[in-house]
Structure 1
Amino acid sequence: MKRLTLSLLLVVLVAIAGLGWSISELASVYSQDQDRPTSAAQLAAVKRLGESLARALDDDLQQSQLTAVSWNRHNPEQLSFTELKAFALPPSLEPGFLAGEPLVLESDEGISLHYHLPHTQRVLSISTGLQFPEQESGVDQLFTVLFYAGIVLILLLWVSPLIRSLVNLSRVAQAFGMGQLEQRVSPGRISYIAPIEQEFNRMADRIQQLLEDNKLLSRAVSHDLKTPIARLRFGLEALEEVQSDSQRQRYLQRLGRDLDAMEELVALLLQYARLDEANITPDWQKVSLVQLVEQCVAEHQDTEMTIRFEASCRDREVLADPRYLKMQVNNLLSNALRFGRQQVVLSTSNADQRLWLHVDDDGDGIDEAERTKVLKPFVRGRQSRGNAGHGMGLAIVARIAQWMDTPLEIGQAPQLHGARLSLGLKPAS
């Protein structure tokens, strides 16, 4: 909205100042192009001339007639004399005229000025052929119309992108409300409401993600929980018929394992559901990546596989929430241990202004066509069939990476030829 307000003020100021200056310059050029003064100036000059002639020609009748003939021969304004008695004058104008006020009349031939000569009781008439200045104001009206039309045009040019953006936003919002969750606003090259459009797209992404998560959780509950529940039911039924203590003990152990599997799945579901950006306030800290990874490696040393950590940047720190960063590293390490055969190698490198943590295994790797899919909850690649797990490890890492700005990339390990999972971390300044 700040951009919208500033642009509106700027457009209005530029329109008024710039257009006003342009129209003023155009009017001055037009005035300079005129070879004669305006009618108003000419009429004022004729009035002053008439007053002088009225005083000069009010004494000698014969001389005044000769002067008028000579004047009419050389000037466009024509002089004439009329006896006061023969000069038809409305009663309302007579007092002022006799007191010396000039009488200005207009006809089809133009403006005429009449002066009372009190000594000779005559009327001096001057025919000019001019028109009243109001008839010449069409040019001023034209410039005024141009000024306001220019302001309207500039405002229309300014407001048209805003109208298009609002119409587009309204259309997308209506389609999104009708269930087309893939609809997003495409900002134009000129958009005054770009922050609103971006917020709408982020809101739409969150709503779509929440709905997809709900669908995934529903499918997981309906599918992944059915198997351990069915085994529990079968085990309880079989337990009622078993007489041997040793066999009863084996069934109880199976029931315990099924309960552990259910508890693990529920814990994963709750953990993934809590990883919502709106519900998390990261505790950003400067974290020693090497120390954190070494702690995670030490926690997984009870496995039969070999785990090596080759740190090339031991003194580097990253900006992260240590709790969630450790969750990411543990999930990546658990995934590598689950699908590797004999060894897992962790390493670090610098690239693209980030500190990258690589987790390599010597398993079958992840097909390139499946590298995007396995980041979704409960999705397992072709190579993971037959292995334990629910397909939630990488989904949790990707969800944390989404709001912590730590991109997760999947590739092939250059030496072990299995999968390489790379986590890009922001170096601490």
Structure 2
Amino acid sequence: MKKIYIGIVFTVIGSLVFLGWVLDLVVQDNTEQTLPADLVVYQKMMAGMAKSLDQLKDFELAAQVTKFSEQFQVSVVLEQTANLALPQTLDKQLTIHNTLVLQSGEATHFYYLLTAHPNMLLSMAIPKESDEGYLQDIALTLVLYLGISLSLVAWLVPLTKRLSLLDKLAARFGLGQLDVRIKPSRFSYIDGIESSFNRMATQIETLVADNKLLAGSLSHDLRTPVACLRFGIEAALDCNDIKQKTVYLHRVEQELTRLENMLEAFLEYASMERNGLSLSPAEHDLSQFVTSIANELTPLANNKQQRITVHKPENAISLYFDGHWIHRAILNLLSNGMDYCVNAIEIQLQETEFDWVIKVHDDGKGVPVDKRDSIFEAFVTANTSRTRENTNFGLGLAIVKRVANWHAGQVKVETSTLLGGACFSFSLPKVSPLISKEISPK
């Protein structure tokens, strides 16, 4: 972080010095050389003295010059022109303009030729002011640059602290501490970068956890169908009875079908995070959307002697969401309810201040309280009497949770107040984060 401080301070101070130098050059090249205001007064005084001396005779000049010195408290001297040794260029300037101003380290010298007395020269030396004013200017300049530097440092401290913290957390994250996150701060200048880091860390942690879970589940769940396949093939090979051989082969086919479905479900879940980066939100009527899904499952529910009822408001519910994945999530919730209900499923659409909530009630045994958090994790079943998906792969409700997260919604389970079984609540925000501008629901 020292490089940031040094770089910015030197850049700003260097820019000020450089620009000041360039502007001085521009001013010098485009403006006439003039004397400071205090010396202009002396120059005019000398001009007045010379004009007055031009009206006098030679023998009166010395007395008048002495009188000028006493009157104006300045050092005025009358000299012979021949006594002044000047370079040719300065001598020519004095001859043409009758006046010359020379500055040295100790004083400023004014020279005037007397027009009526060409061999006489009036000179006056004005001592330079002490270095106190010059030193004061330097001190004030240093104070200015120091103040700018301190202001920059004060502005940089919060930035460098947050950058240093972000750097340390990124290093820890790279070493395998995938749960590290940067806490938001209202004094941060890079809150957008910090939020992006947290989102990235969450996505990577989820992907790594899913990969580990997927690998562990595959290695565990594949053992049973592979063992069954081996047993069935060996039995078929050893069996001479054609009918019995056919039975074994049918069992092998069933295990292959189950194995194929399992692999398809696992691979689909593994690719969901990538699918979540390419959602296609569109405007939908949530009421009509849910009703359509319920109608799809009605024939299957009738075959199971079950009843699906939808309670919805009369007005349309306009929301923005990805139709494919919300359809998949609601379908999973309803299928899950049909697997474990006795006779009835009721769907409610309820409005809160910021969300619309889809509630799926059933009259089954419900979900134990100690299983309500883990039931939405992948490859985890609540208990032997109730799983999360009718395919028994433990992915149905995990998909529901992930779809809810993509849409900035939530999913939870509790006891149904209507039917006494389970009640799954799936919420969608009224203002979708998937679109760039806020659109209020109708």
TM over 0.5: yes
1:26-56 deviation line (CA, Å, top 9, x unaligned) = xxxxxxxxxxxxx932322222222222232
Whether 1:226 aligns to 2:223 is yes
One-letter amino acid of the structure 2 residue matched with residue 262 of structure 1 = L
Pick aligned residue for 1:55 from 51, 54, 57: 51
Root mean square deviation of aligned Cα = 4.3
Q: Shift of the alpha carbon at 1:374?
A: 1.8
- Contact kept, 8 Å, 1:112 with 1:126, in 2: the verdict is yes
Number of aligned pairs? Answer: 395
Q: What are the within-5 Å matches in structure 2 for residues 156-195 of structure 1?
A: 163-164=160-161, 166-186=163-183, 188-189=185-186, 193-195=190-192
Q: Shift of the alpha carbon at 1:191?
A: 5.1
> In structure 2, how many angstroms separate the alpha carbons of the residues matched to 1:422 and 1:180?
33
1:191-218 deviation line (CA, Å, top 9, x unaligned) = 5554444444433333332222222221
Q: 1:84 to 1:285 in 2, by over 3 A?
A: closer
The equivalent of 1:359 in structure 2 is: 360
Whether 1:44 aligns to 2:46 is no
1:75-109 deviation line (CA, Å, top 9, x unaligned) = 32244445667x56457566665777445566897
Q: Shift of the alpha carbon at 1:222?
A: 0.9
> In structure 2, how many angstroms separate the alpha carbons of the residues matched to 1:385 and 1:317?
33
Q: What are the within-5 Å matches in structure 2 for residues 111-260 of structure 1?
A: 111-117=108-114, 119=117, 121-131=119-129, 163-164=160-161, 166-186=163-183, 188-189=185-186, 193-238=190-235, 255=252, 257-260=254-257
Whether 1:408 aligns to 2:411 is yes
Moved more, 90-99 or 389-398: 90-99
Moved more, 245-254 or 195-204: 245-254
The equivalent of 1:23 in structure 2 is: none
Moved more, 416-425 or 234-243: 234-243
One-letter amino acid of the structure 2 residue matched with residue 371 of structure 1 = R
Q: 1:285 to 1:274 in 2, by over 3 A?
A: farther
Q: Shift of the alpha carbon at 1:311?
A: 0.7
Q: 1:273 to 1:299 in 2, by over 3 A?
A: farther
> In structure 2, how many angstroms separate the alpha carbons of the residues matched to 1:73 and 1:249?
140
TM (normalized to structure 2)? Answer: 0.70
One-letter amino acid of the structure 2 residue matched with residue 282 of structure 1 = S
> In structure 1, how many angstroms separate the alpha carbons of the residues matched to 2:279 and 2:157?
40
> In structure 1, how many angstroms separate the alpha carbons of the residues matched to 2:105 and 2:260?
107
Q: Shift of the alpha carbon at 1:301?
A: 1.3
One-letter amino acid of the structure 1 residue matched with residue 117 of structure 2 = H
The equivalent of 1:336 in structure 2 is: 337
- Contact kept, 8 Å, 1:76 with 1:128, in 2: the verdict is no
One-letter amino acid of the structure 1 residue matched with residue 366 of structure 2 = G
One-letter amino acid of the structure 2 residue matched with residue 207 of structure 1 = I
> In structure 2, how many angstroms separate the alpha carbons of the residues matched to 1:79 and 1:151?
47
Q: 1:282 to 1:113 in 2, by over 3 A?
A: closer
Q: 1:292 to 1:312 in 2, by over 3 A?
A: same
Q: Which has the higher contact order (CA 8 A, sep 6+)?
A: 1
Q: Shift of the alpha carbon at 1:421?
A: 0.6
Secondary structure of the 2:36 match is helix
Moved more, 178-187 or 415-424: 178-187
> In structure 2, how many angstroms separate the alpha carbons of the residues matched to 1:339 and 1:232?
30
Secondary structure of the 2:307 match is strand
One-letter amino acid of the structure 2 residue matched with residue 309 of structure 1 = T
Q: Shift of the alpha carbon at 1:232?
A: 3.3
Q: What are the within-5 Å matches in structure 2 for residues 226-305 of structure 1?
A: 226-238=223-235, 255=252, 257-276=254-273, 277-278=275-276, 280-282=278-280, 284-287=282-285, 288-302=288-302, 304=304
> In structure 2, how many angstroms separate the alpha carbons of the residues matched to 1:56 and 1:41?
23
Q: 1:314 to 1:292 in 2, by over 3 A?
A: farther
1:270-325 deviation line (CA, Å, top 9, x unaligned) = 33234333575436352413422431440431564643414132553454444433
Secondary structure of the 1:365 match is coil
1:353-404 deviation line (CA, Å, top 9, x unaligned) = 4332211234443344533322121012246579972321101211222224
Structure 1 unaligned segments of length 5 or more: list them: 1-7, 21-38
Q: What are the within-5 Å matches in structure 2 for residues 387-406 of structure 1?
A: 389-406=392-409
One-letter amino acid of the structure 2 residue matched with residue 271 of structure 1 = E
Q: 1:102 to 1:138 in 2, by over 3 A?
A: farther
- Contact kept, 8 Å, 1:377 with 1:395, in 2: the verdict is yes
> In structure 2, how many angstroms separate the alpha carbons of the residues matched to 1:412 and 1:40?
92
Q: 1:343 to 1:42 in 2, by over 3 A?
A: closer
- Contact kept, 8 Å, 1:297 with 1:307, in 2: the verdict is no
One-letter amino acid of the structure 1 residue matched with residue 37 of structure 2 = A
One-letter amino acid of the structure 2 residue matched with residue 126 of structure 1 = M
Whether 1:421 aligns to 2:419 is no
Identity in percent:
28
> In structure 1, how many angstroms separate the alpha carbons of the residues matched to 2:209 and 2:369?
23
Q: Shift of the alpha carbon at 1:125?
A: 4.0
> In structure 2, how many angstroms separate the alpha carbons of the residues matched to 1:278 and 1:355?
21
Q: 1:274 to 1:111 in 2, by over 3 A?
A: closer
Secondary structure of the 1:44 match is helix
- Contact kept, 8 Å, 1:289 with 1:316, in 2: the verdict is no
Moved more, 342-351 or 167-176: 167-176
> In structure 1, how many angstroms separate the alpha carbons of the residues matched to 2:298 and 2:266?
26
> In structure 2, how many angstroms separate the alpha carbons of the residues matched to 1:411 and 1:76?
103
Secondary structure of the 1:355 match is strand
> In structure 2, how many angstroms separate the alpha carbons of the residues matched to 1:396 and 1:108?
87
Moved more, 279-288 or 44-53: 279-288
One-letter amino acid of the structure 1 residue matched with residue 41 of structure 2 = A
> In structure 2, how many angstroms separate the alpha carbons of the residues matched to 1:307 and 1:315?
24
> In structure 1, how many angstroms separate the alpha carbons of the residues matched to 2:315 and 2:253?
45
